[in-house]
Amino acid sequence: MNILMTSFTRSHGMPHVPKFSCAMYAPQGYDYPRISWTLIGREDGSDWIRPRNFIGLADPLTAYKAALWARYDEREKVARIWCDMMAGNAAIAFCCWCPHDRAAQRQMGEHGSYICHTDVLGQWIEERLGVRVWYDDERRLMKHIP
């Protein structure tokens, strides 16, 4: 199984791929199942880990990644079970708003790139779960957090 990171907007182009939401909430009109272990917050909607929480630190992006990575680590067992369950699919898509939401559009305007949790999530999935992750071509402009 491969996981494709894409946006809700782009997900229309892949009719035969099972689609899931890795966003805290979905744009109106989308009912993809939300996968709780991929979220930046808690399942109850609280405690989001966002880059803005780390502004002012010496290395905000590294701190952001470390916090998100630690949260995913808490969920490793659940994530592994879920991926095993999905293994019969050639590919599945994880959908996020970016870069079609206002925050990403603003970042693109200011910096030419945007930050999205699917960068960290994808790295984590490959490293911890050994599942291959692909990114749609709009994610070329996603800032890679080393």
Positions that interact with Zn ion (CB under 5 A): 96, 98, 116
Asked if residues 20 and 34 have their Cβ atoms less than 8 Å apart, the reply is yes
Give the other-Cβ count within 10 Å of 4's Cβ: 21
Closer to Zn ion by CB, 16 or 102: give it.
102
CB of 96 to Zn ion, least distance (A): 4
Closer to Zn ion by CB, 68 or 116: give it.
116
CB of 54 to Zn ion, least distance (A): 16
- CA–CA gap between residue 93 and residue 8 (Å, rounded): 10
CB of 118 to Zn ion, least distance (A): 5
- CA–CA gap between residue 26 and residue 28 (Å, rounded): 6
Closer to Zn ion by CB, 68 or 96: give it.
96
